[in-house]
Structure 1
């Protein structure tokens, strides 16, 4: 089932997500719905809070070399924590909750991620490049933060101006 994605400036996006403690059929169905929602929106990542569920769950599906996103590449990440981040990189990010806006954001270049899968099993993942960036972007959502909050003062003002203009054009 495709779920509605909440968008900026919806206050729900500011919610800090709660730890997942129940790894049941309800969670599995929700993760499946998140995948369907993300794929139908041409996203590479989606946090549960973006579909109005404040739990510490996110999914990622990084395209392969040909640009294809396959279910085999799907990562379901629950209760994540980052350790051993290294380096810095600048990457142009967008967000399904801030449609139509892209900005350069500084992130760690590589990291180690500890998380649980849909069955509650502990997992560890070494991530770099786009995967590391996407993990950090989606984990920010779990803390109630958007990528636009990482912009410099001037770029944030520019975003606000463009956003207001885009809203007027929609009316």
Structure 2
């Protein structure tokens, strides 16, 4: 099917061979790195999938990263990071970035969530569209700020970063 089975990587210490394994439907199930190649990489990385083909976990030297999907096969959590989607199925938040779309579901904006905000708050975002003239807004239904539940605007196209009510 054309999947990569090996890859040669050459650096100052020489050439190493990475080996890839696949299941019957061509999903990568394992990557074997040579011992001592890079301490940050596992000697083996294993990928697991559910019956629908959604990744459920990745196991490597750093431990297990769990993937959670919803009924629409969208990832809602990856390694503890929450993902959100609008009612049209567009990803609106990935733990680090907020995404905006026009009425035709075309990506128009990617905005990085400021680090202090991302680190200090656990945010549940709701994104809405209301026609061509005002097609995007984003509101926090709730977020946690120093153990106090708050609500209000997280940001909009006017550069509001955090405004509580």
Higher strand residue share:
2
Q: Normalized against structure 2, the TM-score is what?
A: 0.23
Structure with more contact order per residue of length (Cα contacts < 8 Å, sep ≥ 6): 1
Instruction: Indicate the structure (1 or 2) with the bigger Cα radius of gyration.
Output: 2
Higher helix residue share:
1
Q: Normalized against structure 1, the TM-score is what?
A: 0.22
